[in-house]
Amino acid sequence: MTNTLIPLSDLLKIRKDLKLKNKKVVFTNGCFDILHAGHVDYLAKAKACGDILIVGLNSDKSIREIKGKNRPIINELERAYILNNLKSVDYVVLFEEPTPLQLIERIIPDILIKGDDWAIENIVGREVVEKNGGVVTTIKFITSQSTSNIIKKILATYNE
């Protein structure tokens, strides 16, 4: 599973080139642990909003801080590999912090997207993107599927 993650330094060079070419860069982020149809639909819709889709992927350490010691289920390299093999995803970059704010401040995407379970005013990085002339928006989920719900269903089935 090589070349699944792009180093931030390389991504910043690519971003500079994309800006010169007037390409619209879309950024979204998440854990993407146990990829499901809702994730795939969300990423396809995000990609349709611009030319290039960059996915900020929470590191294993970051997920443990957010979700607890038993997560992630799938490690960061495997999650990155899966995401990189979706036709909608152009680049996957890892971040260690609980939020992608530092990453967004460096990339400065043209479009910042989260799921519609987020209020626009609560989206991390909104101020940075809007201050630089970008757009912040949300995407409607097609299913109520979530990794946490999948894990609960597996545990309930296993414990029957």
User: What are the tens digits of pLDDT across the range 108-138?
Assistant: 999 999 999 899 999 999 999 999 999 999 9
- Whether residue 117 contacts residue 140, with contact meaning beta carbons closer than 8 Å, is answered with no
Q: How confident is the model at residue 1 (pLDDT cuts 50, 70, 90)?
A: very low
- The Cα 125–Cα 29 span in angstroms is 11
CA angle (142 as vertex; 137, 146 as ends), nearest 5 = 95
Measured distance CA(59)–CA(148) in Å, rounded = 17
**Averaged over 2-28, what is the pLDDT?**
92
Q: pLDDT tens, 44-100?
A: 999 999 999 999 999 999 999 998 999 999 999 999 999 999 999 999 999 999 999
Domain made up of 8-158: CATH architecture? 3-Layer(aba) Sandwich (3.40)
User: What is the strand order of the sheet 25-30 is part of?
Assistant: 91-95, 52-58, 25-30, 111-115, 135-139
